[in-house]
């Protein structure tokens, strides 16, 4: 297989309940699945081969579950990490155990570049895949039986397959991230891990200002701007920036709704958006 990213790539996913954890890692080059259940030593030995891990939402969840296991946490402690992230919405790095870990590995998250709120299940549906849910409750109060373990493995493998399919659909995009990184001597594994904003900043050698910006309200209209073509209410909207009685929070979160021709347009300090509602165009052969 002609891989578009470095070798030793695995797509992975964790499942965690009170007395059990499970990880499925699929090697992209061979299609071989590694399944590890409640075995910290086996997972630690696996990670010694320095795999490149690809997941969906792994940056916010699976990576921290993996770190806790590599710190030799028992299943109950792994479940505590799980619950802090899933049930209480705690940022993984704010969990005391994670602050002590010092553990690093290479992974990248396909969710970074998806629309906010998109779930893996919704992606499976759009791809025409079966949307499979485990019948086993994640609040189960006993260790998995052999039958329950097999069901969890099946469910986890399905999510890994869906993640792998999404990864290949994003192949051209991921190649571009690697290419941009290469131009700035950023290793492929690091480039893939970076968000668009972080990679762009690195590519442009962007640096934070030594002092916070304070000139947001000092904008003046360009001298060659033909104000007679701009709606009066739009000029007045932007002139509000010079009113010290309007707080930054109120000013920069405000919007203006105007009509340009037959197109409703939303104007804000971050940009302009307009779209003709219910627009149809019919193309005919005799029209150039």
* Per-residue pLDDT, 4: 59
* Per-residue pLDDT, 3: 46
Q: What is the CATH number of the domain that holds 74?
A: 3.30.420
Distance CA 169, CA 253 (A): 36
Q: Print the domain residue range for 285.
A: 209-288
CB atoms within 10 A of CB 256: 17
Residues 156 and 86 in one domain: yes
Residues 53 and 161 in one domain: yes
* Domain membership flag for residue 272: yes
Residues 47 and 159 in one domain: yes
* Per-residue pLDDT, 2: 47
* Per-residue pLDDT, 40: 97
Residues 145 and 214 in one domain: no
Residues 103 and 13 in one domain: yes
Tokens of 92: 């993984």
* Domain membership flag for residue 193: no
* Domain membership flag for residue 267: yes
pLDDT one digit per residue (tens) for the chain, 288 residues:
344 566 789 999 999 999 999 999 999 999 999 999 999 999 999 999 999 999 999 999 999 999 999 999 999 999 999 999 999 999 999 998 888 778 999 999 998 876 666 667 676 666 666 666 666 777 788 999 999 999 999 999 999 999 999 899 888 889 999 999 999 999 999 999 998 889 999 999 988 888 888 888 988 889 999 989 888 898 999 999 999 999 999 999 999 998 888 889 999 988 888 988 877 778 777 655
* Domain membership flag for residue 203: no
CB atoms within 10 A of CB 64: 25
Residues 239 and 130 in one domain: no
* Domain membership flag for residue 182: no
* Per-residue pLDDT, 288: 54
Residues 162 and 218 in one domain: no
Among 169, 194, 222, the domain boundary falls at: 169
* Per-residue pLDDT, 1: 39
pTM value > 0.75: no
Residues 161 and 281 in one domain: no
* Domain membership flag for residue 187: no
Among 114, 148, 169, the domain boundary falls at: 169
Q: What is the DSSP string of the chain?
A: ---SS-SSEEEEEEEE-SS-EEEEEEETTT--EEEEES-HHHHHHHHTT-PEEEESSTTTTHHHHHHHHHTT--HHHHHHHHHHHHTT---GGGSHHHHTT----EEEEGGGGSPTT--HHHHHHHTT------SS-TT--SPPPHHHHHHHHHHHHHHHHHHHHHHHHTHHHHHHHHHHHHHTT--HHHHHHS-HHHHHHHHTT----SS----TT-----TT--GGGS-HHHHHHHHGGG-TTS-HHHHTT-EEEEEETTEEEEEETTEEEE--TT------TT--
- Under 8 Å CB-to-CB from 83, ≥6 apart: which residues? none
Residues 213 and 83 in one domain: no
* Domain membership flag for residue 185: no
Among 114, 144, 169, the domain boundary falls at: 169
* Domain membership flag for residue 165: yes
* Per-residue pLDDT, 81: 95
Residues 162 and 241 in one domain: no
Residues 255 and 124 in one domain: no
**CA 63, 65, 66: angle at the middle one, nearest 5?**
65
Residues 113 and 233 in one domain: no
Strand order in the sheet with 52-55: 33-37, 21-27, 9-16, 52-55, 106-109
How many domains are contained in the chain?
2
* Per-residue pLDDT, 208: 85
């Amino acid at each position: 297989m002609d891989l578009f990213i470095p070798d030793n790539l695995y797509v992975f996913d964790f499942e965690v309940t009170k007395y059990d954890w499970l990880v499925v890692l699929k090697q992209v080059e061979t299609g071989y699945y590694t399944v590890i259940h409640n075995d910290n030593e086996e997972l630690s030995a696996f990670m010694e081969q320095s795999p490149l891990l690809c997941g969906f939402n792994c940056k916010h969840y699976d990576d921290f579950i993996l770190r806790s296991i590599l710190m030799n946490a028992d299943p109950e402690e792994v479940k505590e990490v799980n619950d802090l992230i899933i049930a209480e919405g705690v940022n993984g790095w704010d969990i005391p155990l994670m602050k002590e870990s010092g553990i690093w590995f290479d992974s990248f998250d396909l969710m970074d570049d998806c629309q906010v709120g998109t779930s893996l299940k919704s992606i499976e549906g759009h791809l025409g895949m079966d949307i499979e849910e485990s019948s086993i409750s994640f609040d189960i109060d006993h260790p998995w039986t052999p039958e329950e373990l097999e069901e969890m493995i099946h469910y986890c493998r399905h999510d890994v397959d869906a993640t792998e399919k999404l990864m290949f659909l994003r192949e051209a995009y991921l190649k571009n991230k690697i290419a941009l990184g290469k131009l700035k001597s950023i290793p492929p594994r690091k480039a893939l891990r970076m968000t668009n904003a972080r990679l762009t900043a690195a590519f442009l050698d962007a640096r934070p200002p030594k002092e916070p910006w304070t000139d947001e309200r000092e904008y003046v209209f360009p001298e060659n701007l033909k104000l007679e073509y701009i709606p009066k209410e739009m000029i007045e909207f932007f002139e509000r920036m010079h009113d010290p009685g309007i707080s930054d929070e109120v000013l920069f979160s405000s919007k203006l709704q105007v009509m340009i021709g037959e197109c409703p347009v939303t104007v804000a300090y971050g940009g302009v958006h307009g779209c003709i509602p219910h627009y149809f165009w019919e193309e005919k052969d005799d029209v150039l």
